[in-house]
Amino acid sequence: MTRPNQERSGGMEGQARLWAVAGTSVVREHEPMSLHTTFQVGGPADFFIEPESPAVLAEMLDVCREEEIPFVILGRGSNVLVGDGGYRGVIFHIGDAMSRIRREGCEIIAEAGVTLSALARFARLNSLSGLEFAGGIPGSLGGALFMNAGAYGGEMRDVVREALILTESGEARWIPAEELALGYRTSRIQTEGLIALAARMELVPGDPEEIQERMADFARRRRSKQPLEYPSAGSTFKRPPGYFAGKLIEDAGLAGYAVGGACVSEKHCGFVINRDRATAADILAVCRDVAAEVERQTGVALEMEVRCLGEF
């Protein structure tokens, strides 16, 4: 743990209060966000904190709000682009310390920090079907709830029964799935600034070998169609109503379009990739140029699925 720095976010008093409630949480100063995002870009965060528990997270968030210290919640960094200038404030990383998982009959109760791949494996080992689609998504359960992640015809709202949510008032309460407004790449968690702490998922009994085969089939399809050999944030743009973003981009002649070390993947035009030591500015420029050209040619506005954080 490093000592508070008066020139960092929140001033000496606010930072001292954060340290006082941190307990055994991991706290790092000037942490490069390129180490914590799947794009592998991003400048330093003033503070990078991995809370030891939901209770400690709630206390630290209270301090940030009271001291007006900017903060953001980050899972596995699989759907974000952090600017080259970094983030002036606190990035709370919900990770291994908050990733417990257990089974109750045909239900799985898991904390937000568990990876989707680990969650899918746990379901398979317990002969439970319904999470096969999540096995190859490089994110956490918290992030998946935030955006209602999905792939290959499945999505989180198909399996989530309820979620444990931390409200702005610091109250943790279970909210039924039907009240989470889980839609296409959105949720009430996202639109209202709530924080997912855990979820209860209802699955169905299945044969482990059949579950494994479905997961392996999805993995093969991913490898054949997606540029998994390069850092990216997965699908860069949301699917416009009635269209596919990748097809619009390809038809606009933008396959391989590059700025610096970033480019549109020629393997799957829905992906913007870090091909050769790209900066966040390179990636954002490709995204903006692509969106502008697609709209110019087709009149269809592309909306980024990837969240942009920090200073660009």
Give the list of residues 6+ apart from residue 212 with CB closer than 8 angstroms, or none: 124
Task: Report whether 286 contacts 272 (CB < 8 A).
Answer: yes
Specify whether 107 is catalytic: no
The residue annotated as part of the active site, out of 185, 200, 239, 275, is 185
Q: Which of 34, 140, 235, 265 does the annotation list as catalytic? A: 235
Going by C-beta distance under 8 Å and a sequence separation of 6 or more, which residues neighbour residue 23? 52, 53, 56
- Is residue 157 among the annotated active site residues? no
pLDDT in tens, 181-192: 999 999 999 999
Spatial distance between the Cα atoms of 141 and 111, rounded to a whole number of angstroms: 7
Residues listed for the chain:
312
Does the pTM of the predicted model rise above 0.85?
yes
pLDDT greater than 80 at residue 6: no
Q: Does residue 15 surpass a pLDDT of 60?
A: yes
User: What digits encode the pLDDT tens for the residues 111-168?
Assistant: 999 999 999 999 999 999 999 999 999 999 999 999 999 999 999 999 999 999 999 8
The predicted-structure confidence for 74-102, as pLDDT tens digits, reads as follows 999 999 999 999 999 999 999 999 999 99
Closest CA to 253 of 302, 283, 277, 289: 289
Q: Is 235 marked active-site?
A: yes
